[in-house]
A and B are shown apart, each in its own frame.
Chain A
């Protein structure tokens, strides 16, 4: 299992850089994860997406569907791709500290 240092904490990630222990997440970790997704600076818009995903995950135990993410943040899908080039499921969820989605997706 690869190990990386994010916000000064050494933690495990999977092969694609998703952290394996979501409880280690904090905003500084998110900012460092964002850099691995070619997001140098987390703007207010980035945080709006990440916070929605994070809060949904804490309440429901699973990532929000993309359509719900768009509806609740008011961003179109294309705008989310502009914010996170590898998209909502892989880019934004990674920054929000969620595990990588698997299965029929």
Chain B
């Protein structure tokens, strides 16, 4: 394990907002253990043909960059300013009003001024000003222009990997500056000279080679799905179908691969299998499009496109009509906002129509892909699923809006509609911590690794605080989220900040409540624990 001493929660919660004596233009960064991520391994970079594969560490004095690193980065910035109008606008338009300053979970949890979104962006903007604006060229430091030095590069690395691209700050920006795009561009520029982190590059390389982040080959995927079917049969008495790579299926189902491997995501996957079986949808899993998640989003636009291409390609190969996606977070930013531009148009697919209810999902007429929460909410709305919410009575549930389903696609109502139908005890966290104002888990965008644990706990402080509030007020003991990264990192976050609260996905609770045709008397929940251990429902 990394040699990191995590302070106790009561210590970490004492955040100092005293800025350093040096001004913000001083780029010096201290790579303190627990606040940064390991460098990308050369093998991973070689797998996908990315520049400058080598052994290095952020704590090294020499980062082993190519001799012309400065030229490469500035040329990269020049090309992207020409290509992305949004980048130029975001760099020019900010008036430093500070509306975003205290909205970032990393600023709230660390007190580091450079984690104010405005100042994090200024780290890039100052270089832009120096090399690309007349005022900067003439007046230099007086107008906040800085030369791109090696220390500035190190500072970019430190702070662009202390942003989870969650976009909470953008909700409050009067100009609508998308800070996630600035972080994405900052990381993309660093990647031009081989600066990146392994928690992103390893999943990128595995996704490129096997189709998914976890590196699950086809026979292992099949083995795991059969294992889940065995568990479901043991719990319900029903053997669910496992259609894999089925040509002629109506629908291709794409999920985050974390749900095939990791607790507690696997119980959500069992929930998907049960709902899809019970609904009678003619669908298929794919061993090729075996990942909806896309760590290209944390690497470069080119990598997003390369890793995403398999989804439409597989839909075409199998001859499906439309695509259904599982409970992944960041994949929905890619699928909802980039996919049809990068790899479309998907004119060989049809506008999604649920064959069970006849509902036409008009909003997905461009991407041809809908979220399983939309599919399931529609089934419930039309009375197509029989549900017994009392089977979730052991849980007092609150719902964490995952950044991307919330702020990138506005998926607020469907999960709440489902929760109100599948459990009897659902409580909202305070309104400035949910829906479009939701607070990040602190571990998205590739930051969910162990060596970065102190920053994860700091970034997750506002979320932990809101969960503690509903735990103390209502006795909430389950935090439900529609994201595989959430299910992994919120589990650790809760152990630290609110240990009484466990984590689940949405469809785990659906699977618990779902009354399947011909099922046996349920005694176990999807975790194979006695149903509602702890007694009958208590009144509110």
Contacts and interface: CB of A to CB of B under 8 A. Distances in A.
Interface of A: 1, 14-16, 60-63, 65-68, 86, 90, 101-105
A105 B217 CA distance: 17
A59 B416 CA distance: 42
Given A103-B213, A104-B488, A15 B263 contact: no
B202 A105 contact: no
B57 to A, nearest CB: 8
Nearest to A12: B55
Given A65-B261, A67-B266, A104-B488, A15 B214 contact: no
Contacts of A104: 203, 213-214, 256-258, 262, 265, 293, 328, 448, 484-485, 487-488
Contacts of B260: 65
Nearest to B527: A67
Contact of B258 (A1, A90, A105): A105
Contact of A102 (B216, B219, B224, B449): B449
A68 B227 contact: yes
A1 B260 CA distance: 31
Contact of B216 (A16, A62, A68, A86): A62
Interface in B1-53: 1-2, 38, 41
B199 interface: yes
Contact size class for B? 35 or more
B62 interface: no
A101 B214 contact: yes
B215 to A, nearest CB: 6
B521 interface: no
Interface in B243-287: 256-258, 260-263, 265-266
Interface in B290-326: 293, 295
Contacts of B213: 102-104
Q: When A and B form their complex, which 6 residue pairs have the shortest distance between CB atoms, in order from nearest?
A: A104-B258, A103-B213, A60-B220, A104-B484, A103-B203, A102-B202
B428 interface: no
A62 B220 contact: yes
Contacts of A101: 214, 261
Contacts of B112: none
Contact of B257 (A15, A68, A86, A103): A103
24 contacts: A15-B38, A61-B215, A61-B217, A62-B215, A62-B217, A62-B220, A62-B261, A65-B227, A65-B261, A65-B263, A65-B266, A68-B227, A90-B450, A101-B214, A102-B199, A102-B203, A102-B206, A103-B202, A103-B203, A103-B206, A103-B295, A104-B293, A105-B214, A105-B488
B194 to A, nearest CB: 16
Contacts of A60: 217, 219-220, 223
B421 interface: no
B366 interface: no
Given A90-B1, A104-B448, A105-B262, 16 more contacts: A15-B2, A15-B38, A15-B57, A16-B2, A60-B220, A61-B220, A62-B215, A65-B227, A65-B263, A102-B203, A103-B257, A103-B293, A104-B203, A104-B257, A104-B262, A104-B485
A66 B214 contact: no
Interface in B477-503: 484-485, 487-488
B131 interface: no
A1 B262 contact: no
B528 to A, nearest CB: 9
Given A60-B220, A105-B262, A86 B488 contact: no
Contacts of A68: 224, 227
A105 B2 CA distance: 17
Contacts of A65: 224, 227, 260-263, 266
Best-buried of A14, A16, A67, A102 by chain B (most CB within 10 Å) = A102
A101 to B, nearest CB: 7
Interface string B224-247: 100100010000000000000000
Contact of B1 (A16, A63, A66, A102): A16
Best-buried of B260, B261, B488 by chain A (most CB within 10 Å) = B261
A15 B38 CA distance: 8
A66 B262 CA distance: 7
Nearest to B213: A103
Contacts of A105: 214, 258, 261-262, 488
Interface in B343-393: none
B55 to A, nearest CB: 5
Contacts of A63: 261
Given A16-B1, A62-B215, A104-B262, A1 B206 contact: no
B291 to A, nearest CB: 9
B532 interface: no
